[in-house]
Amino acid sequence: MEPTPYIVVLITASSKQEAETIGKTLVESRLAACVNILTGVSSLFRWQGVIEHQEEVLMLVKSRRELVSSIIEVVKRLHSYTVPEVVALPIVAGSPDYLIWMDESLQQTS
């Protein structure tokens, strides 16, 4: 099955306030149709040679593939981390009504 042009972008933030600022900017600029903010995420990762454990906030950003570079620019501008997580995953299928709503909510690039 060919993936759709739609994606879910995973972004972690240091706080709910930071996630809300980034999420609101993405939705207002029509780079995201929807942003879910999940608190209470416990993250383990290696940073500068040391294993870190942080409480973070996870953002699930619904968008289209061609908007990823613009999403990354916004996140880098607003994020407190030196290297923020921005990972896009394809949406291989979805409710046709939801995908139409996404298109209506996002920037038109063509």
pLDDT in tens, 21-39: 999 999 999 999 999 999 9
Q: Look at strands 34-47 and 86-90 and give their pairing.
A: unpaired
Is the distance from CB of 11 to CB of 17 less than 8 angstroms?
Answer: no
Rounded Cα–Cα distance for residues 62 and 102 (Å): 8
**Residue 58 pLDDT greater than 90, yes or no:** yes
Which domains are delineated in the chain? 6-105 (3.30.70.120)
Evaluated on CA atoms 75, 9, 84, 58, the torsion sign reads positive
- In the predicted structure, residue 1 carries a pLDDT above the cut 90: no
What are the pLDDT digits (tens) for 70-99?
A: 999 999 999 999 999 999 999 999 999 999
Starting at the earlier edge strand, list the strands of the sheet with 34-47: 34-47, 50-64, 6-13, 86-90
Residue 5 has pLDDT above 80, yes or no: yes
Q: How many residues does the chain have?
A: 110
Question: What integer pLDDT is reported at residue 105 of this predicted model?
Answer: 95
For 1-42, the DSSP string reads -PPPSEEEEEEEESSHHHHHHHHHHHHHTTS-SEEEEEEEEE
Note the pLDDT of residue 98: 95
